[in-house]
Amino acid sequence: MVRRDSSFLKSMRIREIKKEIGKAISQGSGIPLEKLLDWIEITIGLRRETAKSYVDLIMRTEGWILIEGKIVAEIPET
């Protein structure tokens, strides 16, 4: 039996989004927030507001930040 309640679906979507952000961060470039939100709308099918709340949650739990419209792992040193 496959579990398909809303909390399970939310956790699966969050994992997929987290994986996409992590992939971009590991390449050293980060990911533009607007591009990520577009990807989430198209690929996962979430409304933009819901997608933004998921991304905000992921950023808080992972310690990632938004700099100049891009999600990055940490503040670059100058």
- Tens of pLDDT along the chain (78 residues) come to 566 788 889 999 999 999 999 999 998 889 999 999 999 999 999 999 999 999 999 999 999 999 999 999 975 555
Distance of CA 60 to the CA centre of its chain: 11
Q: What is the DSSP letter of 5?
A: -
HEC per residue, 3-44: CCCHHHHHHHHHHHHHHHHHHHHHCCCCEEHHHHHHHHHHHH
Length in residues, the chain:
78
Helix, strand, or coil (residue 45) = coil
In a domain? residue 45: yes
Range of the domain at 27: 7-72
User: Does residue 14 fall inside a structural domain?
Assistant: yes
Alpha carbon 39 to its chain centroid, in Å, reads: 10
The verdict on residue 47 lying in a domain is yes
pLDDT reported for residue 28: 84
In a domain, 60, yes or no: yes
Q: How confident is the model at residue 78, as a pLDDT?
A: 55
Q: Is residue 55 part of a domain?
A: yes
